[in-house]
Protein backbone atom coordinates (compact mmCIF):
# COMPACT_ATOMS: atom_id res chain seq x y z
CA UNK A 1 0.00 0.00 0.00
CA UNK A 2 1.36 3.46 -0.85
CA UNK A 3 2.25 6.16 1.69
CA UNK A 4 -0.80 8.33 0.92
CA UNK A 5 -3.30 5.56 1.68
CA UNK A 6 -1.30 4.30 4.65
CA UNK A 7 -1.35 7.78 6.17
CA UNK A 8 -5.11 8.01 5.55
CA UNK A 9 -6.01 4.63 7.06
CA UNK A 10 -6.50 5.46 10.77
CA UNK A 11 -7.47 9.12 10.45
CA UNK A 12 -11.11 8.52 11.47
CA UNK A 13 -10.10 6.73 14.68
CA UNK A 14 -10.14 8.65 17.96
CA UNK A 15 -7.68 6.13 19.41
CA UNK A 16 -6.64 2.66 18.38
CA UNK A 17 -8.67 0.70 20.91
CA UNK A 18 -12.40 0.01 21.55
CA UNK A 19 -13.11 2.85 23.97
CA UNK A 20 -15.89 5.43 24.26
CA UNK A 21 -15.31 8.99 25.49
CA UNK A 22 -17.13 8.42 28.84
CA UNK A 23 -15.22 5.19 29.42
CA UNK A 24 -11.94 7.02 28.70
CA UNK A 25 -12.88 9.74 31.20
CA UNK A 26 -13.63 7.09 33.82
CA UNK A 27 -10.24 5.43 33.26
CA UNK A 28 -8.42 8.76 33.55
CA UNK A 29 -10.33 9.47 36.79
CA UNK A 30 -9.25 6.11 38.20
CA UNK A 31 -5.62 6.82 37.30
CA UNK A 32 -5.62 9.72 39.79
CA UNK A 33 -3.36 11.79 37.56
CA UNK A 34 -1.37 14.48 39.29
CA UNK A 35 2.32 15.31 38.92
CA UNK A 36 5.37 13.21 38.06
CA UNK A 37 6.07 11.14 34.97
CA UNK A 38 3.48 9.48 32.75
CA UNK A 39 4.68 7.15 30.01
CA UNK A 40 2.46 5.52 27.37
CA UNK A 41 4.12 2.33 26.07
CA UNK A 42 2.93 1.64 22.52
CA UNK A 43 1.11 4.99 22.42
CA UNK A 44 0.17 5.08 18.73
CA UNK A 45 -0.74 8.75 18.20
CA UNK A 46 -1.28 9.13 21.96
CA UNK A 47 -4.79 10.63 22.13
CA UNK A 48 -5.41 9.30 25.65
CA UNK A 49 -1.96 10.49 26.72
CA UNK A 50 -2.74 13.97 25.35
CA UNK A 51 -6.01 14.05 27.30
CA UNK A 52 -4.17 13.00 30.45
CA UNK A 53 -1.65 15.80 29.91
CA UNK A 54 -4.48 18.31 29.42
CA UNK A 55 -6.09 17.22 32.72
CA UNK A 56 -2.91 17.28 34.77
CA UNK A 57 -0.53 19.98 33.50
CA UNK A 58 2.01 18.96 36.20
CA UNK A 59 2.63 15.64 34.45
CA UNK A 60 5.73 15.04 32.35
CA UNK A 61 4.11 12.97 29.62
CA UNK A 62 5.94 10.79 27.10
CA UNK A 63 4.55 8.53 24.41
CA UNK A 64 6.72 5.68 23.13
CA UNK A 65 6.09 3.94 19.83
CA UNK A 66 7.95 2.70 16.76
CA UNK A 67 5.38 3.91 14.22
CA UNK A 68 6.53 7.24 12.78
CA UNK A 69 3.14 8.09 11.23
CA UNK A 70 1.43 7.80 14.63
CA UNK A 71 4.17 9.72 16.42
CA UNK A 72 3.99 12.57 13.90
CA UNK A 73 0.20 12.75 14.32
CA UNK A 74 0.64 12.89 18.12
CA UNK A 75 3.24 15.66 17.87
CA UNK A 76 1.03 17.72 15.55
CA UNK A 77 -2.00 17.40 17.86
CA UNK A 78 0.12 18.23 20.92
CA UNK A 79 1.33 21.40 19.19
CA UNK A 80 -2.19 22.36 18.10
CA UNK A 81 -3.47 22.01 21.70
CA UNK A 82 -0.44 23.69 23.25
CA UNK A 83 0.50 20.56 25.21
CA UNK A 84 4.11 19.75 26.17
CA UNK A 85 4.00 16.00 25.44
CA UNK A 86 7.07 14.17 24.15
CA UNK A 87 6.73 11.47 21.51
CA UNK A 88 9.75 9.16 21.44
CA UNK A 89 10.48 6.79 18.56
CA UNK A 90 11.74 3.86 20.58
CA UNK A 91 11.17 0.17 21.34
CA UNK A 92 8.82 0.16 24.34
CA UNK A 93 10.12 -3.28 25.38
CA UNK A 94 13.43 -1.70 26.38
CA UNK A 95 11.99 1.51 27.92
CA UNK A 96 13.39 1.75 31.47
CA UNK A 97 12.68 5.28 32.72
CA UNK A 98 10.63 4.86 35.94
CA UNK A 99 7.27 6.65 36.01
CA UNK A 100 4.50 7.30 38.54
CA UNK A 101 1.85 6.54 35.93
CA UNK A 102 2.08 4.18 32.94
CA UNK A 103 -0.35 3.35 30.12
CA UNK A 104 -0.05 0.16 28.10
CA UNK A 105 -3.16 -0.33 25.98
CA UNK A 106 -3.41 -2.94 23.24
CA UNK A 107 0.35 -3.26 23.24
CA UNK A 108 1.15 -6.40 25.27
CA UNK A 109 2.47 -8.02 22.08
CA UNK A 110 5.46 -5.64 22.31
CA UNK A 111 6.65 -7.65 25.30
CA UNK A 112 5.74 -11.05 23.82
CA UNK A 113 2.62 -11.92 25.82
CA UNK A 114 0.23 -10.67 28.50
CA UNK A 115 2.26 -12.28 31.27
CA UNK A 116 5.56 -10.93 29.94
CA UNK A 117 4.06 -7.42 29.62
CA UNK A 118 2.69 -7.41 33.17
CA UNK A 119 6.04 -8.53 34.54
CA UNK A 120 8.16 -6.16 32.44
CA UNK A 121 6.02 -3.08 33.17
CA UNK A 122 6.33 -3.75 36.91
CA UNK A 123 9.93 -2.61 36.48
CA UNK A 124 8.84 0.75 35.01
CA UNK A 125 6.07 1.79 37.45
CA UNK A 126 7.43 3.48 40.59
CA UNK A 127 6.34 2.16 44.02
CA UNK A 128 2.76 3.35 44.76
CA UNK A 129 2.37 4.17 41.06
CA UNK A 130 -0.47 3.09 38.78
CA UNK A 131 -0.68 1.24 35.47
CA UNK A 132 -3.58 1.55 33.03
CA UNK A 133 -3.43 -1.78 31.25
CA UNK A 134 -5.65 -2.65 28.27
CA UNK A 135 -5.59 -6.08 26.74
CA UNK A 136 -7.63 -8.49 24.65
CA UNK A 137 -9.10 -11.72 25.97
CA UNK A 138 -11.36 -14.51 24.76
CA UNK A 139 -14.89 -13.53 25.78
CA UNK A 140 -16.26 -16.72 24.18
CA UNK A 141 -14.66 -19.87 22.83
CA UNK A 142 -12.87 -18.93 19.59
CA UNK A 143 -13.31 -20.86 16.38
CA UNK A 144 -10.31 -21.80 14.23
CA UNK A 145 -10.52 -18.56 12.20
CA UNK A 146 -10.37 -16.33 15.32
CA UNK A 147 -7.45 -18.36 16.67
CA UNK A 148 -5.69 -17.93 13.34
CA UNK A 149 -6.17 -14.13 13.37
CA UNK A 150 -5.23 -13.49 17.02
CA UNK A 151 -2.73 -16.27 17.68
CA UNK A 152 -2.34 -18.76 20.49
CA UNK A 153 -1.45 -16.39 23.36
CA UNK A 154 -4.78 -14.73 24.22
CA UNK A 155 -6.14 -15.62 27.66
CA UNK A 156 -9.64 -15.87 29.04
CA UNK A 157 -10.57 -13.08 31.45
CA UNK A 158 -10.12 -15.24 34.59
CA UNK A 159 -6.71 -16.37 33.34
CA UNK A 160 -5.75 -12.77 32.54
CA UNK A 161 -6.69 -11.71 36.08
CA UNK A 162 -4.62 -14.62 37.43
CA UNK A 163 -1.67 -13.33 35.37
CA UNK A 164 -2.21 -9.85 36.85
CA UNK A 165 -2.12 -11.24 40.40
CA UNK A 166 0.82 -13.52 39.56
CA UNK A 167 2.87 -10.51 38.45
CA UNK A 168 2.19 -8.84 41.82
CA UNK A 169 -0.45 -6.31 40.76
CA UNK A 170 -3.58 -5.32 42.66
CA UNK A 171 -6.70 -4.42 40.65
CA UNK A 172 -7.88 -0.88 41.45
CA UNK A 173 -10.34 -0.69 38.56
CA UNK A 174 -11.80 -3.26 36.13
CA UNK A 175 -14.01 -2.73 33.08
CA UNK A 176 -14.49 -4.17 29.61
CA UNK A 177 -15.35 -2.68 26.23
CA UNK A 178 -19.04 -3.07 25.37
CA UNK A 179 -20.53 -3.98 22.01
CA UNK A 180 -21.04 -0.38 20.88
CA UNK A 181 -17.41 0.44 21.68
CA UNK A 182 -16.32 -2.57 19.62
CA UNK A 183 -18.62 -1.77 16.69
CA UNK A 184 -17.48 1.86 16.70
CA UNK A 185 -13.82 0.81 16.87
CA UNK A 186 -14.24 -1.54 13.92
CA UNK A 187 -16.27 1.02 11.95
CA UNK A 188 -13.82 3.86 12.49
CA UNK A 189 -10.89 1.58 11.64
CA UNK A 190 -12.51 1.02 8.21
CA UNK A 191 -14.12 4.45 7.73
CA UNK A 192 -11.33 6.48 6.12
CA UNK A 193 -10.63 3.88 3.46
CA UNK A 194 -14.36 3.13 2.97
CA UNK A 195 -15.04 6.83 2.32
CA UNK A 196 -12.01 7.03 0.00
CA UNK A 197 -13.32 4.03 -1.96
CA UNK A 198 -16.75 5.61 -2.42
CA UNK A 199 -15.04 8.76 -3.77
CA UNK A 200 -12.49 6.91 -5.97
CA UNK A 201 -14.16 3.73 -7.30
CA UNK A 202 -12.09 3.73 -10.52
CA UNK A 203 -8.69 4.38 -8.89
CA UNK A 204 -6.13 1.66 -9.73
CA UNK A 205 -5.73 1.02 -5.97
CA UNK A 206 -9.48 0.56 -5.43
CA UNK A 207 -9.46 -3.23 -5.84
CA UNK A 208 -6.89 -3.75 -3.10
CA UNK A 209 -8.69 -1.38 -0.72
CA UNK A 210 -12.08 -3.00 -1.44
CA UNK A 211 -10.66 -6.44 -0.77
CA UNK A 212 -9.12 -5.33 2.56
CA UNK A 213 -12.31 -3.58 3.72
CA UNK A 214 -14.56 -6.50 2.80
CA UNK A 215 -12.26 -9.04 4.46
CA UNK A 216 -11.98 -7.04 7.68
CA UNK A 217 -15.75 -6.59 8.02
CA UNK A 218 -16.37 -10.25 7.18
CA UNK A 219 -13.81 -11.41 9.74
CA UNK A 220 -15.23 -9.14 12.42
CA UNK A 221 -18.84 -10.23 11.94
CA UNK A 222 -18.18 -13.92 11.30
CA UNK A 223 -15.10 -14.68 13.36
CA UNK A 224 -14.55 -12.42 16.34
CA UNK A 225 -17.49 -10.10 17.12
CA UNK A 226 -18.52 -11.12 20.66
CA UNK A 227 -15.59 -13.55 20.82
CA UNK A 228 -12.70 -11.14 21.27
CA UNK A 229 -13.10 -9.03 24.40
CA UNK A 230 -11.02 -6.13 25.66
CA UNK A 231 -10.45 -5.18 29.29
CA UNK A 232 -9.15 -2.01 30.94
CA UNK A 233 -7.48 -2.44 34.31
CA UNK A 234 -6.04 0.18 36.61
CA UNK A 235 -3.35 -1.65 38.56
CA UNK A 236 -1.24 -0.79 41.56
CA UNK A 237 1.37 -2.65 43.60
C1 LIG B 1 -3.18 -1.49 18.99
S2 LIG B 1 -2.02 -0.19 18.90
C3 LIG B 1 -2.44 0.66 20.41
C4 LIG B 1 -2.08 2.10 20.36
C5 LIG B 1 -2.48 2.95 21.57
N6 LIG B 1 -2.06 2.36 22.84
C7 LIG B 1 -3.94 3.28 21.61
O8 LIG B 1 -4.64 2.80 22.50
O9 LIG B 1 -4.40 4.03 20.74
C10 LIG B 1 -0.43 -0.94 19.28
C11 LIG B 1 0.73 0.02 19.12
O12 LIG B 1 1.95 -0.67 19.49
C13 LIG B 1 2.98 -0.12 18.66
N14 LIG B 1 4.19 -0.97 18.71
C15 LIG B 1 4.37 -2.19 18.15
N16 LIG B 1 5.61 -2.65 18.46
C17 LIG B 1 6.21 -1.69 19.23
C18 LIG B 1 7.46 -1.59 19.91
N19 LIG B 1 8.36 -2.57 19.84
N20 LIG B 1 7.72 -0.49 20.65
C21 LIG B 1 6.81 0.52 20.73
N22 LIG B 1 5.60 0.47 20.12
C23 LIG B 1 5.30 -0.62 19.39
C24 LIG B 1 2.33 -0.01 17.31
O25 LIG B 1 3.04 0.85 16.45
C26 LIG B 1 0.95 0.51 17.70
O27 LIG B 1 0.90 1.93 17.69
pLDDT at 162: 98
Q: How does residue 194 score in pLDDT terms, banded at 50, 70 and 90?
A: very high
Q: How does residue 222 score in pLDDT terms, banded at 50, 70 and 90?
A: very high
CA of 107 to the centre of ligand 1 (A): 5
pLDDT at 54: 98
* Domain map (residue ranges) of the chain: 13-178+229-236
CA distances from 223 to 64, 153, 182, 230 (A): 31, 17, 14, 16
Specify the pairing of strand 59-65 against strand 36-41.
parallel
Pocket test for ligand 1, best of 44, 47, 48, 188 (most atoms within 8 A of CB): 44
pLDDT at 70: 95
Cα(79)–Cα(217) distance, integer angstroms = 35
Q: Is the minimum distance from the CB of 15 to ligand 1 under 6 angstroms?
A: yes
- Tell me whether residue 90 is exposed, middle or buried, using C-beta atoms within 10 angstroms of its C-beta: 0 to 12, 13 to 18, 19 or more: middle
Helix pair 68-81, 47-55: axis angle to 10 deg: 30
Handedness of CA 103, 108, 112, 113 (dihedral sign): positive
Nearest Cα residue to atom 10 of ligand 1: 107
Q: Do residues 100 and 58 lie in contact, with contact meaning Cβ atoms separated by under 8 Å?
A: no
pLDDT at 2: 86
pLDDT above 80 for 1: no
CATH topology assigned to domain 13-178+229-236:
Rossmann fold (3.40.50)
pLDDT above 90 for 164: yes
Pocket test for ligand 1, best of 21, 66, 70, 89 (most atoms within 8 A of CB): 66
Q: What is the pLDDT of the chain when averaged over all its residues?
A: 97
User: For the chain, what percent of residues have pLDDT higher than 90?
Assistant: 98
Amino acid sequence: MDDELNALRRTRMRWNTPLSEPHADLLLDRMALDAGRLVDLGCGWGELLLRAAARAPGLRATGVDTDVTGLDRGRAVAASRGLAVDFAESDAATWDVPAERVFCIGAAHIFGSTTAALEAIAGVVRPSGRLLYGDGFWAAAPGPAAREIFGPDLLTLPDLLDAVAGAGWRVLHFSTADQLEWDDFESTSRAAWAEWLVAHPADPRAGEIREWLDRRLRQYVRDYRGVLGFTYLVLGR
